[in-house]
Amino acid sequence: MFNYLIVGCGLSGACCARLLAEQGKRVFIVDKRNHIGGNVYDSYNEYGILIHNYGPHIFHTTHKDVWDFLSRFTKWRHYQHRVLAHVNGKFVPMPINLDTINMLYGTSYTAFNVNDFYHTVKENCAEVNNAEDMVVTKIGRELYELFFKEYTIKQWDLSPAVLAKEVTARIPIRYNRDDRYFTDRYQGIPEHGYTKMVEKMLGHKNISILLNTDYKDIKDEIRYENMIYSGPVDYYFDYKHGKLPYRSLKLEFETYDMERYQTVGTQNYPNDYDFTRITEFKFLTGQQCAKTTVAIEYPAAEGEPYYPIPQEGNQQLYARYKKDAAELPTVHFIGRLGQYKYANMDVAVKDALDLIQDLNLPSDRGSCAAV
């Protein structure tokens, strides 16, 4: 008898498994893929270059408890990500900062007066209703069209005018020359890769793992008391209310016989080409070798479910599944797919830490059947 059956061996499932195992719980974790780690899985290609098989993952967080927990299973390569965007024939810093403005417009603004520029170009909206409104009220129409409009259309196959404002709400606008993509206190890449980190996390006598298996094929054969489910919530309920829509990615990996292919970790292409960005892995991993490998990202309608599509109708559909989930006292839904939300890696870990803490609370503190 297992205390917990955990569906999904990505960060959410692996974190939950380790925390429960350390409490003396017997855990059985199952994943349909042939590897651990979920979307953070990385591996060495034929040239010995460590690549992120499901696209680039740069860890960053403001949560000390998340950083401390993961640091038990890895040392970190302290890395701060930088991105350039190709607009008007130039590569300029992204997020938009002081240098971006001066490079595009041939101006000489400083941190003390660049706000004057933003003030003259931003639009006033009586109400911010969508992703387009969110940007133009900050930086105006021209910069919106240069950096966000076409990129968003490629990414979502939808106009920003019909996407939820949260899509662009998190995008920072800088008033200084800080060209780091993230400014979180804790940033880095696992020293030996994400797969090794997850492997150490799962290395506990109370954890059993089964790969290449759909949990529905074995759930009636495994005796367990509770389930933690990080797969697609609509699949759990056999799509009874309909299928939740996602956007996916098609990744092309190219290896070049050169030390460096580009000047920063990622270059965005908002307006040119069908792809959205190119990431060079050696910037992330710090490897030293004569060749280099990049990942070219093409947004796609079909494939692995990467991004829940942020539209009101989709949230209304998810709300029906969430209501069903709340009626299952021994099943706990977690992760990007289980909760139908876009979540960075640190949020996935934080949610796992919080879930296990809640499971340990006395019953009179309230139910947490569906997270």
Q: Over 60: is that where the pLDDT of 100 sits?
A: yes
Q: Tell me how far apart the alpha carbons of residues 328 and 325 are, in angstroms, rounded to a whole number.
A: 6
Q: Over 60: is that where the pLDDT of 367 sits?
A: no
- The pLDDT of residue 46 is 97
- State pLDDT tens for residues 34-79: 999 999 999 999 999 999 999 999 999 999 999 999 999 999 999 9
- The pLDDT of residue 125 is 83
- The pLDDT of residue 126 is 81
Q: Over 70: is that where the pLDDT of 370 sits?
A: no
- Produce one character per residue of 231-259: b if its CB has 16 or more CB atoms within 10 Å, e if not: bbbbbbeeeebeebbbbebebeeeeeeee
Q: Over 50: is that where the pLDDT of 84 sits?
A: yes
pLDDT category of residue 328 using cuts at 50, 70 and 90: very high
Q: Give burial (CB, 10 Å; 0-12/13-18/19+) of 338.
A: buried
**Is the overall model pTM greater than 0.75, yes or no?**
yes
Q: Over 80: is that where the pLDDT of 168 sits?
A: yes
Least Cα distance to 272 among 122, 355, 150 occurs for 150
- State pLDDT tens for residues 133-165: 999 999 999 999 999 999 999 999 999 999 988
Q: Tell me how far apart the alpha carbons of residues 304 and 243 are, in angstroms, rounded to a whole number.
A: 14
Mean pLDDT of the chain: 94
Q: Over 70: is that where the pLDDT of 343 sits?
A: yes
Q: Over 60: is that where the pLDDT of 368 sits?
A: no
Backbone angles phi, psi at 272, to 5 degrees: -110, 150
- The pLDDT of residue 127 is 87
Peptide bond into 310 cis (omega under 30): no
Crossing angle, helix 64-71 and helix 345-359, to 10 degrees?
90
Domains, the chain, in order of start with CATH, read: 2-36+202-244+309-365 (3.40.50.720), 83-169 (no CATH)
Q: Over 50: is that where the pLDDT of 369 sits?
A: no
Amino acid at 266: T
- The pLDDT of residue 362 is 60
The answer to whether the Cα torsion of 322, 325, 327, 329 is positive or negative is negative
- Structure-block tokens of residue 103: 């490079």
Q: What is the CA radius of gyration of the chain?
A: 22
Q: Over 80: is that where the pLDDT of 170 sits?
A: no
- The pLDDT of residue 169 is 78
- The pLDDT of residue 361 is 65
Q: Name the least confident of 34-38, 175-179, 364-368.
A: 364-368
- State pLDDT tens for residues 196-223: 999 999 999 999 999 999 999 999 999 9
| Averaged pLDDT for residues 323-349 | 96
Q: Tell me how far apart the alpha carbons of residues 233 and 244 are, in angstroms, rounded to a whole number.
A: 9
**Is the Cβ–Cβ distance between 282 and 299 less than 8 Å?**
no
The answer to whether the Cα torsion of 130, 344, 236, 301 is positive or negative is positive
Backbone angles phi, psi at 228, to 5 degrees: -115, 120
- State pLDDT tens for residues 232-263: 999 999 999 999 999 999 999 999 999 999 99
